[in-house]
Structure 1
Amino acid sequence: MDDNELVERAREAHETAHVPYSEYPVGAALETADGTVFTGCNIENANYSNTLHAEGVAVAHAVHAGHTEFERVAVSSAKRDGVTPCGRCRQTFTEFCDEDFVVLCDEGDGFAKYTLGELLPNAITEDTLD
């Protein structure tokens, strides 16, 4: 699957988002090391701290299916505004991915491409807990 196809899967994923408060649907498509793709969408809750983010939902689906090695993720909002994963989601990726993990952010007429290390330098890792 090429980058454009992964972004398209993220676009499809935000179609099922539950966003009655923000009205800002987000989708994520996460590719595992073996090429399997898991998607997720944001699921809002009136208590915002209980809201699930699209990237976290995709990671949860993948881990539940036995995958813990990831190659890249694409993120898209209905606005196609280049949304990047938030800090919490970046830290979640750090649990499973190295700093070269690729993050594609849908800009509508293309996408921005980052590495996790660019988006979250000096991340908290298992090594920092020692």
Structure 2
Amino acid sequence: MKENRQDKEKTKEKENKKSKKNKDTLEIQDLKEGKTSIGELIGIAKDVMKNAYVPYSNFKVGAALLTKSGKIYTGVNIENSSFGLTNCAERTAIFKAISEGEREFETLVVVADTEEPVSPCGACRQVMSEFGDFEVVLTNLKGDIIQTSVNQLLPYSFDKDDLKK
């Protein structure tokens, strides 16, 4: 009996995860009245994907970062023949914002042409955590969406407080 209950709970968890991913972009509400909507950010990230420099993998990713000041910064992945020097779309958008003086972020949208929404790599998660906990929206061209946060993606991040110990 215990195994059946556990199996049912696991099945229910999987169904809940699927239902979260299958939200249509049209159902997503504005972040704040008068502010850019998640749907608009998704459109911007999809549009910028075409600028990705991916001669080795052809794996295009686009990102749109909304700052607390209301500005939007975009990013794409940029590959290099020395693969370790490749930069992801998430970090490209964040670095552009930082270079323009931004430090507080509201929402980061990441779009890829994949079967499931693509999750940020570990390096991107650590860079995102440097600037606090903000909303992260992962999606694909089919419209599957995962809404999460930096703290959910990297719950035990290394930060400046760890350097003081």
Using structure 2 for the length normalisation, give the TM-score: 0.74
Distance 2:116 2:70 in 1: 26
Runs of 4+ in 1 over 2 A off after TM superposition: 78-81, 107-110
Q: 1:116 aligns with which of 150, 153, 160?
A: 150
The letter for the 2-side match of 1:125 is D
RMSD: 1.2
Superposition deviation, residue 12 in structure 1: 1.2
More helix by share: 2
Superposition deviation, residue 109 in structure 1: 2.2
SS at match of 2:130: helix
Q: Where does the alignment leave 5 or more consecutive residues of structure 1 unmatched?
A: none
Superposition deviation, residue 81 in structure 1: 2.9
Q: 1:10 aligns with which of 28, 45, 64?
A: 45
Question: 1:1-130 counterparts in 2 under 5 A?
Answer: 1-79=36-114, 81-98=116-133, 101-107=134-140, 108-130=142-164
Distance 1:109 1:59 in 2: 23
Using structure 1 for the length normalisation, give the TM-score: 0.93
1:18-76 residue CA offsets vs partner (Å, 9 max, x unmatched): 10111100011011001100000001001100101111110111111111111110000
Q: Where does the alignment leave 5 or more consecutive residues of structure 2 unmatched?
A: 1-35
Higher relative contact order structure (alpha carbons within 8 Å, sequence separation ≥ 6): 1
Task: Tell me the percent identity.
Answer: 38
Superposition deviation, residue 80 in structure 1: 6.1
Aligned length: 128
> Contact (CA 8 Å) 1:104, 1:111: kept in 2 or not?
yes
> Contact (CA 8 Å) 1:104, 1:113: kept in 2 or not?
yes
